[in-house]
Structure 1
Amino acid sequence: MERKRRITFYDDLNGPHEDQVREQIAMTPEERWRVFIKLRRMYYGLVGDPPKLPKNITITRPSWM
């Protein structure tokens, strides 16, 4: 069961970073991976899937030759 997050007010911009580092230290790598996948799904749900880019390798002669 997930715990509810409380609203936290910070005095400076370093506070949220320190809290995030503390949370990451407490997690195992598997938990971090699950959170990453969950956030990525939410992001792609909001903005849509990224476009498929063509993967081509173009070989040209350098200008000095």
Structure 2
Amino acid sequence: MEKKQRITLYTDPNGPHKDQVHENALMTPEERWLVFQRLKRRHYGLFGKPKKREKRISIEKPAWI
């Protein structure tokens, strides 16, 4: 069961970063992986999956030579 989300107001700009580092330190690698997968699915749901780009290296003579 997921924790209920809470709203926290910070006076220190580094407050959210410190909280996130502390929460990640308490998580196991498996839990972090599941959170990453959930965030990735949410991102793809909002913006769609990125299109595959062609992998090609082209070497051309510079125009100034």
Residues matched between the structures, number: 62
User: In 2, distance between residues paired with 1:53 and 1:40?
Assistant: 19
Once the two structures are TM-superposed, the CA of residue 56 in structure 1 deviates from its matched residue by: 2.0
Structure 2: state its 5+ residue gaps: none
Q: Percent identity?
A: 59
Q: What's the counterpart of residue 8 of structure 2? A: 8
Q: What's the counterpart of residue 44 of structure 2? A: 44
User: In 1, distance between residues paired with 2:42 and 2:35?
Assistant: 11
TM value normalised by structure 1 = 0.83
Structure 1: state its 5+ residue gaps: none
TM value normalised by structure 2 = 0.83
